[in-house]
Amino acid sequence: MDIIIVIYLIMSGIIIYVVGEIIVKIVIDPVQELKRVIADIAFKLIHYSHVFKLSTSDESAAGTVEKKTDLEKLELAADEYRKLASMLNAGYRLVPFYPLTRIIFFLPKEVEILDARNALLEMSEEIFSAPKSYVISEKRQSIERLLKVI
């Protein structure tokens, strides 16, 4: 009789371990990856802010001449924003049962993720059409607000 109890305890321990590992691999790892992408977006928004002028009001009032931005830096920033949009979309798609999972792990809403992705894509295109514009600054602020990184 005692041997059966020991076998049941061992089997229940194995089952609990396996279920725990499944939860970690299927739910927790994708959530952490999405949070890493959001943190990377927050970093890159600030890191590349020097590439284009974010606020035109102060400098235009003073009458200063805008600096010419290196085309290579613009291309790098545009590529990074497009890459981050792709990573955000992929990270969001990996999280199972997103409406429930986002509540448990305090993630942004689905609409906010998709809006931030679209804003990142628009920023990557806007860099070349109107560099140093106020539009890019607005997009940056909306992404920060949507992803709650500020």
Q: Summarize pLDDT for 12-24 with one digit per residue, the tens.
A: 999 999 999 999 9
Which tops the pLDDT comparison, 14 or 67? 14
> How far from 58 is each of 42, 133, 134, 137, CA to CA, in Å?
24, 13, 12, 14
Q: How many structural domains is the chain composed of?
A: 1
- Domain boundaries, position 106: 2-146
End-to-end CA, the chain: 61
pTM: 0.80
Encode pLDDT of 96-119 as tens digits. Answer: 999 999 999 999 999 999 999 999
> Cβ–Cβ contacts within 10 Å for residue 74, how many?
17
Q: How many residues does the chain have?
A: 150
